[in-house]
Amino acid sequence: MQYRIDPKSGNKVSALGLGCMRFPGYQVGRPDVASARRIISRALERGVNYLDTAYLYPGNEEVVGAVLDELGARESVFLATKLPHASCKRAEDFDRFFDEQLRRLRTDHIDYYLIHNVTSPSQWERVCALGIEDWIARQKRSGRIRQIGFSFHGSAGDFPVMLDAFAWDFCQVQYNYANEYYQAGTAGVLSAAERGLAVFVMEPLLGGRLAGKLPTEAFKVFEQAGDAELKSPVDWALAWVWSHPQITMLLSGMAAPEQVDQNVRVANLANPGCMDEKRMRAIARVQKIFEAANRVPCTGCNYCMPCPRGINIPGCFSAYNASFAHGWFTGVQQYFTASAIRTSAPKLVSNCVHCGACTRHCPQGIDIPARLQDVGRRLTPGPVGAVLKAMASKGNADKGNR
């Protein structure tokens, strides 16, 4: 395993970290313990020493804590989790959530603690008014928090404001070759590194969009490059991130031991500066192809779920993007699956009532109700939409007659 030094603490952190959010079963809020055990065990065997979870990932902290306890591995890893700051209404809430997290994770300290999903400096200002700065100082003095940081999903202009708002130890940003100028972006990575912060990266594969969901033309570009080391789109995307010397660690949501092996192989060869001119030309071609097909920047994180109307929001956006990447009929087929059209209770995008519950939780800042209308216009035009509505009406009627 390649290791990089956290400039603030001096910790020797594996270049590859395990993002625990997407363990099998996460979509329904019940991560599978046996699968998580296999993934974590393989990651530790291969030298991964950083695990990332969060209070808001349903069932995740409990699973991570149980597996680490079973393996006797807590002291051999850096453990990261996150504060659900939006749920903190009083100063007492900081301890309430943190104490619960320690119980869930079966530990007496957190190595890397983050203010979760910061989209605006005003959110930090709000918890500052509740006294979070003094609270952090107390936790660090007691050793219950070793390093403090924040995960960012806001605008490029707000990122430097957040960097200077507190004496942070590290930051976590979304970064990949399709997001060089999105959210914190390259400019933000450079700014954080210049301030001496450890820079951790999330979404290096954009929720899998830069892996198996690339347009066919993009796959061909990588194949034609004939690279002896970078054998798949996953390899290319991870190597691109690791080629930046400012990056301390990259989080990958590995969902199987085999994915751990694949990612570790790339981690061992993707040193700073590994992307030569030939490789960068291939990346540039893929960027153009991807940008043309990526109409909704959804990463499938499921923060927007459950929808009060039952709509499979990530599934609908995946189908919409697929219709541009792989053809209209492919998108329609995926939409049929996502909307459960063959069941007795189909959930069409037309069911959306614009309540806004989803938009408030989206870390990508997507206007979800408006984009669901785009999905409807693209995938259920004219007679197609009429047929689907008729099928839905019939399904509901049949259900009522039971």
- Structurally, the chain folds into a number of domains equal to 2
The β-bridge partners of 198 are 170
Q: Note whether 365 and 275 are same-domain residues.
A: no
User: Residue 46 is inside which H or E element, if any?
Assistant: none
Domain assignment of residue 175, yes or no: yes
- With a CB cutoff of 8 Å and minimum separation 6, the contacts of 142 are none
Q: Which of 288, 260, 295, 222 is nearest to 19 (CA)?
A: 260
Q: Which of 214, 208, 153, 161 is nearest to 184 (CA)?
A: 153
User: In the prediction, which pLDDT does 402 show?
Assistant: 47
- Give the span between the Cα atoms of 120 and 150, in whole angstroms: 12
Low-confidence ranges of the chain (pLDDT < 50): 395, 397, 399, 401-402
Q: Note whether 284 and 381 are same-domain residues.
A: no
Q: Note whether 147 and 19 are same-domain residues.
A: yes
The answer to whether 80 touches 110, Cβ cutoff 8 Å, is yes
Question: What domain range includes position 270?
Answer: 3-291
**What CATH number does the domain containing 92 carry?**
3.20.20.100
C-alpha distances in Å from residue 1, one per residue of 67, 103, 252, 379: 22, 31, 14, 45
User: In the prediction, which pLDDT does 342 show?
Assistant: 61
- Give the span between the Cα atoms of 227 and 278, in whole angstroms: 10
- The CA-CA-CA angle for residues 263, 15, 232, to 5°, reads 25
Domain assignment of residue 91, yes or no: yes
User: In the prediction, which pLDDT does 347 show?
Assistant: 80
Q: Note whether 192 and 322 are same-domain residues.
A: no
Q: Note whether 141 and 203 are same-domain residues.
A: yes
Q: Note whether 328 and 364 are same-domain residues.
A: yes
- Give the span between the Cα atoms of 46 and 38, in whole angstroms: 12
Q: What is the pTM of this model?
A: 0.81
* Residue 275: exposure state from Cβ atoms within 10 A (0-12, 13-18, ≥19): buried
Domain assignment of residue 307, yes or no: no
Tokens read off for 160: 């430097």
Q: Note whether 275 and 320 are same-domain residues.
A: no
Q: Note whether 275 and 331 are same-domain residues.
A: no
Q: Note whether 116 and 197 are same-domain residues.
A: yes
User: In the prediction, which pLDDT does 155 show?
Assistant: 82
- SS3 at position 237: helix
User: In the prediction, which pLDDT does 393 show?
Assistant: 54
- Give the span between the Cα atoms of 295 and 318, in whole angstroms: 10
For the chain, count helices (H), then strands (E): 15, 10
User: In the prediction, which pLDDT does 359 show?
Assistant: 87
Domain assignment of residue 297, yes or no: no
User: In the prediction, which pLDDT does 163 show?
Assistant: 96
What pLDDT digit, counting tens, does each position of 333-379 carry? 777 777 766 666 778 888 888 998 888 888 878 888 888 888 888 88
C-alpha distances in Å from residue 397, one per residue of 325, 340, 348, 361, 388: 36, 16, 16, 33, 14
